[in-house]
Structure formats: structure tokens, C-alpha cells
Amino acid sequence: MHNLLRCRRGTVAFVTVVALVPLIGVVALGGEAGSWYVTKQHGQNAADAAAYSGGLILACQLSGNCADPQSVAYRGKEFAAQNGFCNAGDTSYPGTRCGTLPTGISQTVQINQLTSWNGSNGNFVQAVVQQTQPTYLARILGIPTVNIGATAVAQVKQTPANPCILALTGSISFQGSPNINAPSCGMASYDRNTDALNFTGGGMSLNLGSLSAAGGCTGAASFCGNALTYLPPVVNPFSALDGVTMPTLPDCTLPKKDSSGNIALVAYSAATPCANNVSKLQGGSTGVTMNGGVYFLSGSSLNGGQSITGTGLLIPLGSVNLKGSSSINVTANTSVTASQLPPALQPYASLFANMAIYDRYSADWSIGGTSHVTFTGNMYLPNAAVTLQGNPTGTASTCEQLVAASLAFNGNATFDNTGCSAGTKPTSQYVQLVS
């Protein structure tokens, strides 16, 4: 018996069992805390999605041309619901992943629209999500419930410079060694494809206030690295003109050359409802002048050193091809009256103020050779692909806009907009998570 009482066998096992009890508790408590961390990560995903989607709607509303009828709060809560976080009973959003929560667990989602954040003024959307749930092992430590929350803040920002070149449906592409000089404005594309901005080659010179697209950018990082991609589209300021019915006009009887060999285009009026056939103006170095007014053009091309110069609004009724050393140098009218337009266009007279060229047709504009277009005023070609190739020059001397379906700058094409100063142009906005 004495020897039995002095036996030490099994002591280590007993001590180990005693020591394992708190160790197991700590491990179990760590596992519970780990589940809180997972819930917090899910909550952060929901908050990020809610703030960002709310920011997109806010950007849309600030653009002044928003077709989405829902509010910032609705879109924020909708995307929080798609990530599994909803207010009690507020589970009817499309794609919701909210269901009946276990007993004792509750969630809240709050979307706030702010005018300042972290000391900075601006347009912000804050999303705050929270889940309250009971504890288990932590209850032993006097913690009966835990509140797991996450916050995200998105800011609506503007591109550094407003666009003076806008592609409505296709890309803006650069190939060869084009020279783009528009430091006080920028370029933007509506194209949502990955190559909305497309750079081929590396010999180009770009001096732009901003470069943005609704899609992505392909090409060298030295160019794409400065582009803002996947942004909401810029507002098209001339979209009201897209649905008008263009007139069918007979050819004008062109006047004879003056003593300098120039021919004056015939302006549209009730007395002269006609179009000037540019195909009949070929040959020689005869200049074609405009003297204020609205000038409809028919015919296919302007070649052989021909030039159209003056003040007015040019409205082609077909394709326009500038080759050789032909040129268009047009300064827009500061105002256009209804009497200068056909009946179908008269309701839109105000949009034609300061517009140099308006072409509704889908025929492409090909500007090549040593031709050039100089325009003081807006140039609106919503259905045309505009290509500058060879060694043409496009100049907008007062920061007016060139808006087309797509734009390509090839070869040694030059676009010079150094006369541009900051002005009131459609704003390109984007949303960025800042917290």
C-alpha cells in the first residue's frame, strides 16, 4: 500500500488534462471570434457594394440626364441585400440574398448622402451595415451580444478636365505617331468594351487634360496608365438632335465665280430651300465661301485643292470625303434663328448656335492627305466614324466640341486645341471608394 501511494505514474496525463481545459476554451473562443471576422468581411463587402452603387446613382443624378428612377438609398440597399444584409422586413430587392435570420440575430442597413467627409467637401454616399448576434463562449466573459459593423464611403468625382472630344458608340483609337495637343480639355468614349481607348504603337504625342472611357484601355501602360476607365458616360449635349427628320432638298443653282474666282454657297431660306452640291465645285484653286447662314451640302467629296471657308453652319446630306489638299475652315454662327432652318429643325434652333458642322448621316468622315478641318464651333457627327489619317490637321481654336460615333487618329494626324480654356462642357464623372 505504501508503494502504491508513492507511485507517480499518470501524473503528467492528469496535469495535461487539467491544462487542456482552459486551452480548449481559448481555442473555442478564438473560433467564435473567427466567425465574427468572417461576418465582418461579408459586411464590408455589402457596405462597399452599397456605397459604390449609391454613388453611381448620385453621379447619374448630378449629370442632369439620369434615366434611373430609383433613389440613392434604394440602390444602396439593393446591393447590400444582394450581399446578404437587409433591414428587418426589407427583403424584396431584386437578387436579394437576405432570408429569415436565426433567433437573436438582427441586421441594419443605413445609406447616407453627405456633402463632406473627413474634412473634404464634395458629394459622398456612406453605407453603414451592422449585424447584432448573441455570443456563446464570450458570454462567460460578460459579453452577451456582439455588434459587427462595417462602413464604406464612396465619392463622386469629376475628371480633371471636361472633354472636348467625345465618341458616342465606338472607340477612340491612336495608331502611328499622332500629335494631340489639348491640355485644357480631354477626350472621352461611351464605348463599354475593353478597347474603348486603343493605342497601337508608341510614337504618339499626347498632351490631354483628361482621357476617360466607359470601357477599358488597351495599349502601352505609358498611355493607358493615365486613362480613367469604366466611368459613367458623359452627357451628350446634342442628343435632342438625334431624332429629327432630315430634309430632302434639291441642288441649289450655284452663282458664278466672282472676280477672284470664288463661289459663295447658297444659304438655306424659304426662298432658297436647296443644298449645295460640292461635287460640282471640283477643279482649280477656286475658293468656296460662306457669309453667315445655314448651308446644306450634297455630293460626295471635296478634292483637288478645293476649300470651304467662312462663317456659317454646314449640314451635309451625305458623305463627306476630304482628300488631297482640300480643306474646311468654318466659324460657327453665334446664333441661328428658326427662319434659317427647314421646319423639322426649327424647334432646335438654340442647339445650332455655335455649331459649325452637323452631320446626322452614317457616312464616315475620312480626313486624309494634307487636308485639314479647322472649326470654331461645335462639330456634331453622332453616326459617323471620323478618321484623321496621313498628315491632316484638326483644330478647334476655342475649345468647342468634336462629337462623333468613333474617332481614329492615324499616321501623323494632328489635333490642336491649345486655344481651349476651361469652360462649361459636359462633365465626366466617376465614383471611387474613399473609405
The DSSP-derived string for 349-401 is GGGGTTEEEE--S-PPEEE-TT-EEEEESEEEEEEEEEEE-SS-EEEETT---
**323 lies in some domain:** yes
pLDDT at residue number 351: 92
CA 300 to chain centre: 33
Which residue do the cell numbers 459593423 mark?
149
Buried b (16+ CB within 10 A) or exposed e, 327-353: bbbbbbbeebeeebbbeebeebbebbe
Q: Tell me which of 118, 138, 158 is where a domain ends.
A: 158
pLDDT at residue number 426: 53
280 and 412 co-located in one domain: yes
pLDDT at residue number 428: 65
112 and 150 co-located in one domain: yes
Which residue do the cell numbers 483609337 mark?
173
Domain of 17 in residue numbering reads as 9-158
**318 lies in some domain:** yes
pLDDT at residue number 90: 87
182 and 146 co-located in one domain: no
95 and 110 co-located in one domain: yes
Residues 6+ apart with CB under 8 A from 48: 127, 152, 433
Q: Tell me which of 106, 140, 158 is where a domain ends.
A: 158
**433 lies in some domain:** no
321 and 240 co-located in one domain: yes
**435 lies in some domain:** no
Q: Where are the alpha helices (DSSP H) in 122-252?
A: 221-224
261 and 363 co-located in one domain: yes
316 and 219 co-located in one domain: yes
**59 lies in some domain:** yes
Distance from C-alpha of 108 to C-alpha of 395, rounded to nearest angstrom: 56
The pLDDT averaged over each successive group of 10 residues in the chain (435 residues) is: 55 49 48 80 95 92 82 95 92 89 92 94 96 81 85 89 86 90 85 94 83 92 88 82 90 82 90 88 68 88 74 85 73 93 94 91 73 79 85 59 90 76 58 87
137 and 226 co-located in one domain: no
**434 lies in some domain:** no
**76 lies in some domain:** yes
72 and 171 co-located in one domain: no
245 and 314 co-located in one domain: yes
Q: Give the DSSP per-residue string, 222-271.
A: HHHTT-B-SPPPPP-TTGGGGGPPPP--PBP-PPPP-TTS-EEPPPP-SS
pLDDT at residue number 155: 94
pLDDT at residue number 220: 87
Query: Exposed, middle or buried, 205 (CB in 10 Å: 0-12/13-18/19+)?
Result: exposed
**3 lies in some domain:** no
How many structural domains is the chain composed of?
Answer: 2
pLDDT at residue number 324: 66
pLDDT at residue number 47: 96
Given a contact cutoff of 8 angstroms between Cβ atoms, the answer to whether 277 and 251 are in contact is yes
138 and 183 co-located in one domain: no
Distance from C-alpha of 56 to C-alpha of 75, rounded to nearest angstrom: 9
Given a contact cutoff of 8 angstroms between Cβ atoms, the answer to whether 217 and 197 are in contact is yes
83 and 172 co-located in one domain: no
Give the DSSP letter of residue 275: B
Q: Tell me which of 100, 126, 158 is where a domain ends.
A: 158
pLDDT at residue number 352: 94
Q: Among 3, 129, 127, which residue's Cα sits nearest to residue 57?
A: 127
Q: Identify residue 5 by its one-letter amino acid code.
A: L
